[in-house]
Amino acid sequence: MPLEITHEDFMTPQQTLALKEHCRRKVQDPVPDERKHPVRDWAILHLALDAGLRVSEICSLRIRDLILDSDNASLIVRHGKGNKKRGVKIGNALRTHLTEFLAWKEKNGESTAGRASLFVSSRAGGPLTRSAVYRIFKANAEEIGLPKRFSIHSCRHTYASLLYRASDFNIRLVQKQLGHRSIQTTQIYADVLNEDAVIAVDRLPQ
């Protein structure tokens, strides 16, 4: 089925920043509740927003999939859509955060062995499920009043839109980062974000 997206699928830069700042505040001033892990949840949402991974890809990440070298930071997605393997470059802010997250895991007795899951369930102890990641996003989104239409997958769409602009509209770079098999799929983002449309409608007779 062809990808169908419109502007309602993207968070604005202001909404994205608000979500990030909210998660940071929860880490700095956590509410005592052993069932919740704001440190883990912030790492998940930061990764979704700054790497654009699919939910299944986030849940499948293992420690060995993090390449956190200062000059070559990336994530290895071993089983993406179509069972394709790819590398996803990440920026310094996310690299630093993930480095700190690994230290937090070790401090809290979670395994940091190569094949250990990056994100684990606080109840079952196994890999975090997709439904759990959906709930984590929804809970944080509701706490800052984001529109209900947004889901964890909105983070991927938002990442694509921001990366497309930040890369000076380099559609092939976005394709590679997202792991799209066809450039036509990525082109949908370019069509939705076409700045020419904004210019054109402003030129209509008033």
DSSP, res 112 = -
Contacting residues for 128 by C-beta, under 8 A, at least 6 apart = 44, 59, 117, 119, 120, 121
In the structure encoding, which two tokens stand for residue 200, read together?
Answer: 């054109």
pLDDT at 186 (0 to 100): 83
| Residue type at position 162 | L
In the structure encoding, which two tokens stand for residue 124, read together?
Answer: 């079952």
CA distance 163 to 165: 5
E strand or H helix that includes residue 152: helix 152-166
Phi then psi dihedrals of residue 3, to 5 deg = -70, 130
In the structure encoding, which two tokens stand for residue 141, read together?
Answer: 């989104």
Phi then psi dihedrals of residue 87, to 5 deg = -105, 140
pLDDT at 97 (0 to 100): 97
Predicted structure pTM score: 0.87
Cβ atoms of residues 88 and 77 within 8 Å = yes
DSSP, res 120 = B
Q: What is the DSSP track for 113-147? A: STTSBSSB-TTT-SBPPHHHHHHHHHHHHHHTT--
pLDDT at 195 (0 to 100): 60
Sequential pLDDT tens for the chain (206 residues): 456 677 778 898 999 999 999 999 999 986 665 556 899 999 999 999 999 999 999 999 999 999 999 888 999 999 878 788 999 999 999 999 999 999 999 999 999 999 999 999 877 778 899 999 999 999 999 999 999 999 999 999 999 888 888 888 888 988 889 888 888 888 887 777 666 555 555 666 65
| Residue type at position 23 | C
| Residue type at position 183 | I
pLDDT at 179 (0 to 100): 87
Find tokens 């964890």 and name the residue.
152
Using alpha carbons, list the distances in angstroms from residue 124 to 36, 41, 105, 118, 161.
13, 16, 16, 14, 35
pLDDT at 143 (0 to 100): 96
Pairing assessment for the beta strands 74-77 and 66-67 based on DSSP bridges: antiparallel
Contacting residues for 89 by C-beta, under 8 A, at least 6 apart = 73, 74, 177
In the structure encoding, which two tokens stand for residue 114, read together?
Answer: 């190569």
Longest dimension (CA), the chain: 65
Task: Show which residues are catalytic.
Answer: 54, 81, 153, 156, 180, 189
pLDDT at 58 (0 to 100): 96
| Residue type at position 178 | L
